[in-house]
Structure 1
Amino acid sequence: MYRTKSFPSNKEGRDFVVGDIHGHFKLLTTALYKLDFNTELDRIFSVGDLIDRGPDSIDVLSWLEKPWFHAVRGNHEQMLIDCLSGHGDIPRHIRNGGAWLYDLQPPIQHELLKALQALPLIIEINLSSDQTIGIVHAEAPVIRSDDGWQEAKDAITGSFGEQHQRQALKTALYSREKIEQQDHTSIKGIDRLYVGHSSVPGVIRLGNVVYIDTGCSFSDGALSLVEIQTETIISLSMSQ
């Protein structure tokens, strides 16, 4: 089942969105320490690709249990789901940093499968300023030229039929069309959309779409977070 999830505004604390983590949860812990992150008040939202490549991928299970940590599904989560469900390309997954998975016992693999299948494809956050913030892994699944944010959500949940849903899923998890074309067209019906998937040297914005995957897991990359309300950026290089 492919779903979306909506969150109310955080009236007490701060909200952060984090780029692709790729198994570098210790680096994320360091970032939260630097931010004086308050687990009682603050929340963190992930653009997906929590796993593969980095040393701590198995830690995804404990992070997803934290009540203040929320994530959308990325293409690396989808690769794990596909491979453990029996219709994925295991050699391709291994080439893309997934070898750790196949060293685990079947009960742990099953636990991972269940946890990652439960992740929404789209997260929506309503700010107290009446703004709406969106999070999706790769690109907003706007399939038709006049589609906006509501149509993107409807496409993911299957309101327009199975074929439309498959196309929306592929766009949400894998597409790089907007950034490759340097398309500054804004997504209608939403104030800001945070995405990962496409590595950028620093956080950039195309229209109202903000790209925050700054290459965590690559030696010259960094893990970046943005405080949603103030749009303040913090980046920790891989050498830290």
Structure 2
Amino acid sequence: MNTIRAFSPNKKGRDFVVGDIHGHFKLLRSLLEHSKFDVELDRIFSVGDLIDRGPDSLEAISWLSQPWFYAVRGNHEQMLIDCVSGNGDIARHTRNGGAWLYQQTTAVQYELSKILQALPLIIEVDLLDGRKIGLVHAEAADDNWQTAKDALSGHFGDDRRRQALKTALYARGRIEQQNHDPIRGINQLYVGHSTVSNVTRLGNVVYTDTGCSFHDGALSLIEVNAETVTQISMRQE
């Protein structure tokens, strides 16, 4: 399993983080146009859940082929992988926005699964000022960033790795408890999965999923160095 992907500082342009897209790539395209995103200079990092619920999930293939677009694996990517491999719950996936997948040919389903399996569970990005940011879909498996990475990498055994994977893809305990304790060993951690009305910070954890898959939600884009947030609502689609 591809666990961690690390990136050196962007010496040419800007870095952005985008919340859960859920197939609404038209919204993302509008946000990038508004932000004057430069494909020659800038980079964009996604917290996962590229697919399901929205109208253009299949576009994930072309976006992930771009040299400036990177994503961690979300629980919706994991559901697709599990279902295509024969280990998932297709009825559950369908109820959660995955019906589009089963309208595709078997070849396309396998191509998608192969592409999504290559996504890391964690992304780390070094910034020019010496800070380091991280991305994981739902939550870090520990309040210490290195320990969380080691757990996902299997350094503490398979049982701990499986629990860390479940936390990375599905957990909501930190936001449910309104836990402001920082994650040690990382300057800022960007997550999705848990829907918030606006980009929300708890300690050094930033929640970015502003619910673009819901009629009253929005897709949010964060420029990392300036920490500015740009949103486009579903009503504007």
Q: TM-score range, shorter-chain basis?
A: over 0.9
Equivalent residue, structure 2, for 1:160: 156
What secondary structure is seen at the aligned counterpart in 1 of 2:53?
coil
Equivalent residue, structure 2, for 1:222: 218
Q: Say if 2:174 is the partner of 1:174.
A: no
The Cα offsets for residues 90-142 of structure 1, whole Å up to 9 and x where unpaired, read as 00000000000001001111100000000000000001111010000000111
Equivalent residue, structure 2, for 1:29: 29
Give aligned pairs, total.
236
The Cα offsets for residues 142-166 of structure 1, whole Å up to 9 and x where unpaired, read as 1xxxx51111111111111100000
Inter-partner Cα distance in structure 2 for 1:70 and 1:20: 13
Q: CA deviation at 1:77?
A: 0.2
What secondary structure is seen at the aligned counterpart in 1 of 2:212?
coil
What secondary structure is seen at the aligned counterpart in 2 of 1:17?
strand
What secondary structure is seen at the aligned counterpart in 2 of 1:115?
helix
Equivalent residue, structure 1, for 2:100: 100
- The 8 Å contact of residues 16 and 225 in structure 1, kept in 2 or not, is answered as yes
Partner of residue 202 from structure 2, selected from 198, 201, 206? 206
- The 8 Å contact of residues 52 and 98 in structure 1, kept in 2 or not, is answered as yes
Matches within 5 A, 1:40-119: 40-119=40-119
Partner of residue 234 from structure 1, selected from 226, 230, 233? 230
TM score, norm. by length of structure 1: 0.97
The Cα offsets for residues 185-228 of structure 1, whole Å up to 9 and x where unpaired, read as 00000000000000000001000000010001100000001101
Equivalent residue, structure 1, for 2:136: 136
Q: CA deviation at 1:178?
A: 0.2
Q: CA deviation at 1:2?
A: 3.8
Inter-partner Cα distance in structure 1 for 2:30 and 2:183: 33
Letter of the 2:122 counterpart: I
Equivalent residue, structure 1, for 2:124: 124
The Cα offsets for residues 13-48 of structure 1, whole Å up to 9 and x where unpaired, read as 000000000000011001100000000000000000
Equivalent residue, structure 1, for 2:16: 16
TM score, norm. by length of structure 2: 0.99
Question: Structure 1 residue runs of 4+, over 2 Å off?
Answer: none
Q: Which runs of 5+ in 1 are unaligned?
A: none
Inter-partner Cα distance in structure 2 for 1:139 and 1:171: 6
Identity %: 66
What secondary structure is seen at the aligned counterpart in 2 of 1:239?
helix
Superposition CA RMSD, Å: 0.6
Q: Which runs of 5+ in 2 are unaligned?
A: none
